[in-house]
Every structure is written in C-alpha cells, then in structure tokens.
Structure 1
Amino acid sequence: MLGSLLAVLLVATGAIAQMAGERVPELSGPPTEMGEVVAEPIPKWVVDDARKERAYPDQPPVIPHSIEGYQLSVNTNRCLSCHKRELTQESGAPMISVTHYMTREGQMLADVSPRRYFCTACHVPQADVRPLVGNTFRDMSEMGVGHAGSE
C-alpha cells in the first residue's frame, strides 16, 4: 500500500513538473556571450545655487549644489553645518524648515528631530540628465484651477 502510494506521488510530481515547464516561460533566455558595455558618462550636477521652483505644495526643495563628499551618518551631518538655525547667519544658507525641529506630535525640540536628520531621504541634488521615464505631471494651474481670490 505504501509502495503504491509512493509510486502515485512520484508520477504525479513528475507530471506537475512537466506541465509547469510547458506553462512557465523561461526567465533567463538563451545564454549570451559576455561582452563589454559602454558606460554612460557621469552626469554633471546642477550647481548653480539657485533655488528651484517647486512643482507642488510641500515638495521638499532640491539641493542646488554638489554634495559629493558630504558625510551623512548617525554621528555627522555636514548639511547642518550651514543650514542649521544657529548657523545660517554666517553661512548665508537658507534655514531648514521649523518642521525639522518638531516631533511627530508637533512638539518643538531644541535640535533637529532624529526623523528629519538624514536630509537625502527627502532632498536630492539635481543632475543634468535625460529623464528615465516620461513625465505627464501637470500643475493645477494648467488644469484650470485658479489661485484663491483670482475670481
């Protein structure tokens, strides 16, 4: 009895594997020979230090300068050496938003909130490159929505 059950199980497993091989397409395709791929040139960073217009409300501002070589770790944040509230007078950099000094509950802190410490989680430098995907974003003003009080 056990032998016949094992035989049926073995035949059924083989049949399922054979059917799956016919229904599931190959993922890798035919083997190809390794060749050299031409590397694209490294893009040029936009470093004009000009503030960019934001596309939508509450969009984090982009970084208008190079951050190459900036250390951003648990112990060090070079961004704060210019953008922290106390240092903006001498650096001339815009101060980070007051929201970066708040907890999730809206309580003000004396220093930058740990959840806002890693700047590049939201803020990114800009490179002069072709977009990876098409963009169909349209501003509300382009869709017929006027500004408040413009009636």
Structure 2
Amino acid sequence: MRGKDHSRRLTVLMSVILAVGILAGSALAQFAPELRGPTDPMSDVEADPIPRWVTDDVRQMRAYPEQPPVIPHSIQGYQLSVNTNRCMSCHNREFTQGSGAPMISITHFMTREGQMLADVSPRRYFCTACHVPQADVAPLVENDFVDMIDLGAKPVGSE
C-alpha cells in the first residue's frame, strides 16, 4: 500500500512541475521577439524587397575576436566553384599589391594539423562558408553589446 501512495505523490508532483513549466514558457513567449513571420505559414504574404548590399569598401569593425571579416563589396556574379575562386584574383598574396585588397589570413594556408601549404587549404577555399556580404537592413534583434574597452578595461601594461 505504501508503494502506491509514493508513486501517486510522484505522479502528482510531476504533473505540477509540468503545468508550471508550461505556464512559465507561455508567459516568457510573450516577451520573445517574433521572428517567424505570419502566424499562418500557408497564407500568401508579399515578399520584402531584396535589401541593398553595403558596397562602400570600408572595413567593418569586428564584433568579437576571431570573427571572420564581412565582405565590404558586392560579390554578385562571383564564381566560386571547385575550379574557380574569383576572390583569390584580388585577395591572394601575389595580387594584393595591384588590387589594394587585404591578403587572406595566413591561417588559410594551414592544414588542420598546422602544416603550412603553398596554396590555400582546401578547407578554406570556399570563402562564403565564413565570410558574408553585409546587407543594409535593420537587425532582427536589438543588440546592446558593449565592448570591454568601453567598460573601462585597460590593455595589459598600460598602467
């Protein structure tokens, strides 16, 4: 008899926890930004216009260390295939002086084991896997990120 009473209490406790979880989830959902679009996914909705790409060739500040830089120019019509990579016609070491483009990082010439190669590593060949052009659009979610320097952090040895 005692075992049944224990399992019944456990069942009631689990039901209460589940109910509280569902209520909390629905309460938090009202504060979450709506990113899914219309509530009826099968309804006809007019598409937003295609955003303009930022093409001012100005290097953007990186948001965090090790962030791949964004592409500050249009890549419309660039061929990027196993046989051709148009990015390399400006960003490869031999062509940067003539093009004025920054050279690709030395890490792009390394294997996973850190072995240096004479040419771009096959795993770093498809640039748009990490680097993206920047569109002139409002952010989906507001960002209140504050850099460490803005918080008053001083570089090591500056005191």
Q: TM-score, normalised by structure 1?
A: 0.71
Alignment of 1:6-17 (within 5 A): none
Letter in structure 2 aligned against 1:112: V
Q: Which ranges in structure 1 are unaligned for 5 or more consecutive residues?
A: 1-31
Cross-structure match for 1:46? 54
| Structure 2: tracts of 5 or more residues without a match | 1-39
Equivalent in the alignment of 1:125: 133
CA deviation vs aligned residue, 1:54-93 (integer Å, no higher than 9, x gap): 1222211110000111111112111111101111122221
- Is 1:108 aligned to 2:108, yes or no? no
Matching of residue 145 in structure 1 with residue 157 in structure 2: no
Residue in 1 that maps onto 2:107: 99
Identity within the alignment, %:
76
Bigger Rg, structure 1 or 2: 1
- From 68, 77, 84, the equivalent of 2:76 is 68
Distance in 1 separating the partners of 2:135 and 2:70: 11
Cα RMSD for the two superposed structures: 1.7
* Structure-2 separation of matches of 1:80 and 1:123: 13
- 1:77 matched to 2:85? The reply is yes
Q: Distance in 1 between matches of 2:65 and 2:155?
A: 13
- The letter of the residue matching 1:128 is D
Question: What is the aligned length?
Answer: 119
With the length of structure 2 as denominator, give the TM-score of the two structures: 0.68
| CA drift at 1:52 | 1.2
Q: Deviations over 1:11-51 (max 9, x none)?
A: xxxxxxxxxxxxxxxxxxxxx7x654222111111000011
CA distance in 1, matches of 2:121, 2:114: 11
| Deviation >4 Å, runs of 4+ | none
TM-superposition CA deviations, 1:93-146 (whole Å, max 9, x none)? 111011111111211100000111111111111011011223232212233422
